[in-house]
Structure 1
Amino acid sequence: MSEMALQSHAHAVVWIDHLVAKVFGIGLTGISTTAVHAHLASQHLHHRANTIGDGRVQADATFLARVGEAVRDCSDLLVIGPGIEKVELTQYLRAERPDLNLHVEPSDHPTDAEIVALGRKRFHLGDER
Structure 2
Amino acid sequence: MRVQGLLLGAAAVLALAGCGAGGDAKAVPPTATGSLESLAAEVKCRPNMQTDADEIRQALCRTGQGRFVLATFATDRGQREWINDAKDYGGHYLVGRKWVAVGDDGVVESLRGTLGGDVEQGADHHAHGG
TM over 0.5: no
TM-score of the superposition, structure 2-length normalised? 0.30
Q: If you compute each CA radius of gyration, which structure gives the higher value, 1 or 2? A: 1
TM-score of the superposition, structure 1-length normalised? 0.30
